[in-house]
């Protein structure tokens, strides 16, 4: 019984079982799809690197401005809610969630401002 257990657990150091080698996957990995690439990036790849950098900076600026507008909107909504609520008693769950969302947008903006 001990011999059968030892034989069933024997695996060679090279990863083969009982001298049999595992075969690698015969299929190569497929190339990246052209659809996954942003059209602006595809156009920028074909041109000079300065134009690609300019396109990336313009996209970053659009996202940054949209983020600032979203932050302004959320802060305004939070201010209105605080003005309506007596905060000496208790804060609402909506206020807590709103502050979390404001924090998330502010961190995103901070990251975009860095680089």
Residue 48 has what pLDDT?
83
Residue 25 has what pLDDT?
58
Residue 3 has what pLDDT?
46
- Specify whether the CB–CB gap between 44 and 52 falls below 8 A: yes
CA–CA distance, 13 with 4 (Å, rounded to integer): 20
pLDDT, one tens digit per residue, over 95-112 is 889 999 999 999 999 998
pLDDT, one tens digit per residue, over 10-31 is 444 444 555 555 556 566 666 6
């Amino acid at each position: 019984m001990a011999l059968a257990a030892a034989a069933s657990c024997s695996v060679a150091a090279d990863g083969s079982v009982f001298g049999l080698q595992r075969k690698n996957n015969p299929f190569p990995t497929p190339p990246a799809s052209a659809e996954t690439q942003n059209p602006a990036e595809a156009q920028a790849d074909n041109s000079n690197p300065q134009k690609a950098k300019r396109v990336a900076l313009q996209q970053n600026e659009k996202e940054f401005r949209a983020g600032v507008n979203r932050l302004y909107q959320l802060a305004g909504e939070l201010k209105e809610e605080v003005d309506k609520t007596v905060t000496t008693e208790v804060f609402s769950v909506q206020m807590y969630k709103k502050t979390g969302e404001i924090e998330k947008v502010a961190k995103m903006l901070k990251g975009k401002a860095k680089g």
